[in-house]
Amino acid sequence: MPSVEYGMASYYSDEFHGKKTASGEIYDKWDYTCAHRTLPFGTKIKVTNLENKKSVIVRVNDRGPHKEGRIVDLSYIAARDIDMLTKGVVKVRIEVIK
């Protein structure tokens, strides 16, 4: 399991708010969570937007992203905090915290 990854991040659209995630939790767009393909549920990661160096810490509670080339799907609030809502997809660095 790599402790640092680089790639593209996207975020969940509003249509997923209130729906069940792969971990069984209900997705809340106001909670600092994310989807990652392989990291264990509950893993905390720091996601840094490489365009503006803003970062956020999120917890893995879902699987995805399901589009090729993307490494993480962020909750709405996390995406907002790193200023990626307008672009939708940005290059990021993710680092496992614990």
| CA atoms of 51 and 15, how far apart (whole Å) | 27
Tell me: the pLDDT tens digits for 48-77?
Answer: 999 999 999 999 999 999 898 899 999 999
pLDDT in the model for residue 92: 98
- The CATH class for the domain spanning 4-96 reads mainly beta
Task: State residue 2's pLDDT score.
Answer: 63
Place of tokens 């995406």: 79
Domain map (residue ranges) of the chain: 4-96
Other Cβ atoms within 10 Å of 93 Cβ, number: 18
Q: What is the pLDDT of residue 1?
A: 54
Cβ 25 vs Cβ 60: under 8 Å: no
pLDDT band at 15 (very low <50, low <70, confident <90, very high): confident
User: Quick check: 22 pLDDT over 80?
Assistant: yes
